[in-house]
Amino acid sequence: MTEARFGIYIHWPFCESKCPYCDFNSHAVGFVDDARWRAALLAELAHFASETNGREVGSLFFGGGTPSLMEPQSIAALIAAVRQHWPVADDLEVTLEANPSSYETARFRGFFAAGVSRLSLGVQSFDNSRLQFLGRRHTSAQAVRALEEAGGIFPRLSFDLIYALPGETPDTWRRELDLALAYAKGHVSLYQLTIEPGTPFAKARVLGADESSSVALFELSQRALTAAGMPAYEISNHARPGEECRHNLLYWTGGDYVGCGPGAHGRLTGPRGTIATRQIASPDAWLAAVEANGHGTAKGTALGPEERRDELVMMGLRLTDGLDRATFRASSGLEIEEAIDRMRLERLAEEGFLVVDARGVRATARGRRRLDAAIRTLLV
Ligand SMILES: C[S@@+](CC[C@H](N)C(=O)[O-])C[C@H]1O[C@@H](n2cnc3c(N)ncnc32)[C@H](O)[C@@H]1O
Ligand code: SF4
């Protein structure tokens, strides 16, 4: 895998309806003026291009919301603009998130022709009653059709499933995993249902899994996916070797990226250190700002050494390979032991949660089961 240290994220903040568990910056609206939004995203890309001149783009990611609701010609125009503004890697990875509705499936060929090389489908479940509970608009049959169609069109394909729904047992989750393995093409993301504050699920007091059942479900996934040749390379992401999402690896290893579109985050490193950029979150306010000023940046904040360390450790330890010494040095300017208290590292290693060696620091199988607690211990 080539190391790509620069990428671009484009956020599309609209969906056909809002799922009751989701707190992403996504909004269900009746009508979106695609041409106007395309022009604004193109303007913001041009703005960031002038600040990151000459850097080679390894990955481009259209996320949301539901970016597969964009017109294929808008996706094509944005990919063409990236190629015009920046040099791009020969094997540029272009991912598009999509929902498995029939409306979008019919447009897959258009997205591929536009330059999308990797599709990430929000399947969520293969069971109609689970899909209904999750407030999804598609059925299990539509999800399967979308996977089959996409598999015949895109060179790379991933899909998302959500587990630990109320009442989940190892048996119910095993059935989902078996179907996932039947359709997996090289990459799947398995997310434990989290109850996000302020969502309809939180208001209805839907309960997430307790710790012991979520650990059991997590272990089951690890065993099943590893046996099928798709081990976890990140706590929620599984891939056949070589099929890892390069764009997400860029985030998790502290690489730089431009973030365009409402609420998008970016990380740009220059002489002043790493600047965290954040675009205006409200779609209307972002659109107005871009039309007036050429960009919708709400904030550009220089990250202090501690903030940078915290994010590098939090993201890096989610990776199976953990924190690599050279990558950590390149992203933070520090050795791992200068950034993290040596005594705490040693204690967690002695207790069997971490391995600390010449390569770097990574969680053991035991550590991955209690990852949040281990990270909290390291970062206090
Ligand atoms: C931006 S969405 C994906 C694209 C598309 N809008 C969709 O829903 O199919 C990213 C993924 O995050 C996951 N997700 C979102 N909210 C979640 C939550 N509260 N708990 C677990 N997974 C969640 C879902 O699996 C979803 O596919
Ligand atoms: S899960 Fe996907 S489709 Fe549902 S509201 Fe969130 S971004 Fe939109």
Q: Are 35 and 287 in contact (CB under 8 A)?
A: no
Q: What is the C-alpha to C-alpha distance for residues 144 and 332, in angstroms, rounded to an integer?
A: 43
Residue extents of the structural domains in the chain: 6-250, 306-379
Q: What is the pLDDT of residue 3?
A: 38
Work out the pLDDT band at 103, boundaries 50, 70, 90: confident
More confident residue, 341 or 162: 162
Q: What is the pLDDT of residue 53?
A: 87
pLDDT tens digits, residue range 113-145? 999 999 999 999 999 999 999 999 999 999 999
Q: Does residue 99 line the site of ligand 2, with CB under 6 A?
A: yes
More confident residue, 5 or 188: 188
Angle at CA of residue 64, ends 60 and 69, nearest 5°? 95
Say yes or no to pLDDT of 361 above 60. Answer: yes
Write down the residue that tokens 């990919």 correspond to. 79
Q: Whole-prediction pTM value? A: 0.96
What is the distance in A from the centroid of ligand 2 to the CA of 78?
A: 22
Q: What is the pLDDT of residue 270?
A: 84
Q: Whose CA is nearest to atom 4 of ligand 2?
A: 19
CATH 3.20.20.70 fits 6-250, yes or no: yes
Residue 22 alpha carbon, nearest atom of ligand 2: 6
Q: Whose CA is nearest to atom 1 of ligand 1?
A: 64
What is the distance in A from the centroid of ligand 1 to the CA of 122?
A: 7
Mean pLDDT for 29-52 is: 96
What is the distance in A from the centroid of ligand 2 to the CA of 16?
A: 8
State how far Cα 142 lies from the chain centre. 23
pLDDT tens digits, residue range 182-193? 999 999 999 999
Say yes or no to pLDDT of 357 above 60. Answer: yes
Q: Does residue 65 line the site of ligand 2, with CB under 6 A?
A: yes
Q: Does residue 19 line the site of ligand 2, with CB under 6 A?
A: yes
- Four-way CATH pick for 306-379: 3.40.50.970, 1.10.10.920, 1.10.10.10, 1.10.760.10: 1.10.10.920
Lowest mean pLDDT among 267-276, 321-330, 345-354, 360-369: 267-276
Q: What is the C-alpha to C-alpha distance for residues 209 and 228, in angstroms, rounded to an integer?
A: 26
What is the distance in A from the centroid of ligand 1 to the CA of 327?
A: 29
Angle at CA of residue 339, ends 333 and 344, nearest 5°? 160
Q: What is the pLDDT of residue 123?
A: 98
Query: Which three-class secondary structure string do you get for the chain?
Result: CCCCCEEEEEEECEECCCCCCCCCCCEECCCCCHHHHHHHHHHHHHHHHHHCCCCCEEEEEEEECCHHHCCHHHHHHHHHHHHHHCCEEEEEEEEEEECCCHHHHCCHHHHHHHCCCEEEEEEECCCHHHHHHCCCCCCHHHHHHHHHHHHHHCCEEEEEEEECCCCCCHHHHHHHHHHHHHHCCCEEEEEECCCCCCCHHHHCCCCCCCHHHHHHHHHHHHHHHHHCCCCEEECCEEECCCCCCHHHHHHHCCCEEEEECCCCEEEEEECCEEEEEEECCCHHHHHHHHHHHCCCEEEEEECCHHHHHHHHHHHHCCECCCEEHHHHHHHHCCCHHHHCCHHHHHHHHHCCCEEECCCEEEECHHHHHCHHHHHHHHHC
Q: Are 353 and 372 in contact (CB under 8 A)?
A: no
Ligand positioned closest to the Cα atom of 104? 1
Lowest mean pLDDT among 21-30, 54-63, 97-106, 211-220: 97-106
Would you say how long the chain is, in residues?
380
**Nearest partner of 109 among 135, 72, 159, 160, judged by Cα:** 72
Ligand 1 site residues, Cβ closer than 6 angstroms: 15, 21-22, 24, 63-64, 66, 97, 99, 122, 124, 160, 162, 191, 193-194, 196
- The packing angle between helices 342-350 and 371-379, to 10°, is 150
**Nearest partner of 316 among 222, 251, 364, judged by Cα:** 251
Q: Does residue 101 line the site of ligand 2, with CB under 6 A?
A: no
